[in-house]
């Protein structure tokens, strides 16, 4: 399916705004993420407010989107239909949480760190891409 | 104990609202979920027409700190993990998010926004293992600052 030029711009704008939001909220700072994940230490609960802010806005958008078959730009609305709570979901989430807790970096902030020119960010992103590639290899064999 | 000194509710809420606006634009205009691990992971195997919006989104995300720096200095970014730990962490995050079909954005924000039980379970799971990991690494083993 051919994607309209405007849709490329909206994707670009969405990514940009997402990244600015990560920087503004503090989520792009791994030390702050670790402070949020540290229940036993001095617990910085700020990041729960990032989730609350994000969810409250996007909940409106998803309520609108769910009632439509096509987006405002005429593209199909692709909302995941999988409802199964299966082993891959749980094992994947368990692993992701462990990795997140080790360095305080999840995929979005990792990409922002890359743009910020952080050497540590580059190391993380390369390793993350290899991890994703490994999944594709394992998944193809299943 | 809650750390009130570093508590930043206003910037957190506003930053969160910016992220929520970003996910809204992508679902309403492009019809797609703003899940970062899915967008990146999908680049490995999808067709050309599907690839271009993913690349555009990632370019936007990478550009954010560059655009930010045109106006002001970047906010504090502190990474205490050693290179070895960064590699281990990156590998696990990459593999785990693809196996579990999402990360903080796809499950945590988009999934919870549409009240997907699957995403709520995933989010609670990775939050829990994140809490446990920081507890073990910081308080039991003393391996992270």
Strand partners, A89: none
Question: Is A91 found in the same domain as A71?
Answer: no
Residues 6+ apart with CB under 8 A from B71: none
Give the distance from residue A74's alpha carbon to the nearest chain B alpha carbon, in angstroms. 8
Q: Is residue B3 part of a domain?
A: no
Residue A104 is part of which domain span? 82-142
Q: Pick from A112, A26, A101: which is nearest to B92 by CA?
A: A101
Residue contact A31–B80, C-beta within 8 A: yes
The pLDDT, as a whole number, for residue B39 is: 96
CB nearest to A61's CB, from B28, B65, B88? B28
Please count the structural domains in chain A. Answer: 2
What region does A77 belong to: left with phi over 0, alpha with psi -120 to 50, or beta? beta
Residue ending a domain, choose from A24, A57, A79? A79
The answer to whether B2 contacts chain A (CB < 8 Å) is: yes
| Confidence category of residue A1, pLDDT binned at 50, 70, 90 | low
Contact between residue B34 and residue B107 where contact means Cβ atoms under 8 Å apart: no
The pLDDT, as a whole number, for residue B50 is: 85
CB nearest to A55's CB, from B11, B109, B126? B109
Question: Is A63 found in the same domain as A90?
Answer: no
Residue ending a domain, choose from A79, A105, A131? A79
The pLDDT, as a whole number, for residue A17 is: 98
Q: Is residue B90 part of a domain?
A: yes
What region does A20 belong to: left with phi over 0, alpha with psi -120 to 50, or beta? alpha
Q: Is the complex ipTM higher than 0.85?
A: yes
pLDDT digits (tens, 9 = 90+) for B94-113: 999 999 999 999 999 999 99
The pLDDT, as a whole number, for residue B14 is: 97
Strand partners, B104: none
- CA closest to B2 among chain A residues: A43
Q: Is residue B132 part of a domain?
A: yes
- CA closest to A70 among chain B residues: B31
Which DSSP category does B77 fall into? -
pLDDT digits (tens, 9 = 90+) for A96-114: 999 999 999 999 999 999 9
Measured over the CA atoms of residue B92, residue A95, residue A141 and residue B39, the dihedral's sign is negative
| Confidence category of residue A70, pLDDT binned at 50, 70, 90 | very high
Residue contact B40–A111, C-beta within 8 A: yes
Residue contact A93–B40, C-beta within 8 A: no
Angle between helices A30-37 and A46-66 (to 10 degrees): 90
Token pair of A115 as six digits: 């743009």
Residue contact A20–B58, C-beta within 8 A: no
pLDDT digits (tens, 9 = 90+) for B42-82: 998 777 778 999 999 999 999 999 999 999 999 999 999 99
Question: Is A88 found in the same domain as A74?
Answer: no
Please count the structural domains in chain B. Answer: 1
Residue ending a domain, choose from A30, A55, A79? A79
Residue contact B88–A127, C-beta within 8 A: yes
| Confidence category of residue B144, pLDDT binned at 50, 70, 90 | confident
Strand partners, A76: A70
pLDDT digits (tens, 9 = 90+) for B19-36: 999 999 999 999 999 999
Question: Is A73 found in the same domain as A113?
Answer: no
Question: Is A67 found in the same domain as A33?
Answer: yes
Residue contact A94–B125, C-beta within 8 A: yes
Question: Is A20 found in the same domain as A54?
Answer: yes
């Amino acid at each position: 399916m051919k994607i309209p030029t405007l849709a490329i711009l909206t994707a670009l704008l969405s990514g940009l705004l997402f990244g600015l939001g990560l920087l503004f909220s503090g989520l792009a700072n791994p030390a702050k993420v670790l402070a949020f994940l540290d229940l036993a230490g001095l617990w910085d609960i700020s990041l729960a407010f990032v989730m609350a802010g994000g969810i409250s806005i996007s909940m409106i958008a998803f309520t609108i989107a769910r009632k439509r078959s096509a987006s405002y730009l005429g593209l199909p609305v692709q909302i995941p239909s999988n409802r199964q709570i299966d082993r891959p979901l749980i094992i994947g989430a368990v692993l992701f949480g462990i990795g997140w807790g080790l360095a305080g970096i999840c995929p979005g902030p990792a990409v922002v760190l890359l743009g910020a020119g952080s050497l540590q960010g580059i190391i993380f992103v390369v390793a993350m891409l290899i991890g994703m590639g490994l999944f594709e290899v394992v998944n193809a064999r299943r | 104990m809650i750390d009130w000194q570093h508590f930043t509710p206003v910037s957190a809420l506003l930053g969160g609202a910016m992220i929520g606006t970003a996910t809204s634009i992508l679902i309403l205009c492009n019809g797609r979920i703003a899940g970062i691990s899915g967008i990146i992971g999908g680049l490995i195997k999808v067709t050309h027409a599907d690839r271009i919006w993913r690349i555009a989104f990632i370019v936007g995300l990478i550009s954010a700190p560059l655009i930010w720096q045109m106006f002001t200095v970047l906010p504090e970014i502190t990474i205490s993990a050693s290179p070895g730990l960064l590699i281990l962490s990156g590998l696990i995050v990459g593999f785990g998010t693809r196996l579990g079909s999402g990360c903080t954005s796809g499950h945590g924000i988009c999934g919870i926004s549409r009240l997907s039980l699957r995403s709520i379970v995933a989010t609670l799971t990775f939050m829990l293992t994140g809490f446990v990991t920081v507890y073990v690494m910081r308080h039991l083993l003393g391996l992270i600052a």
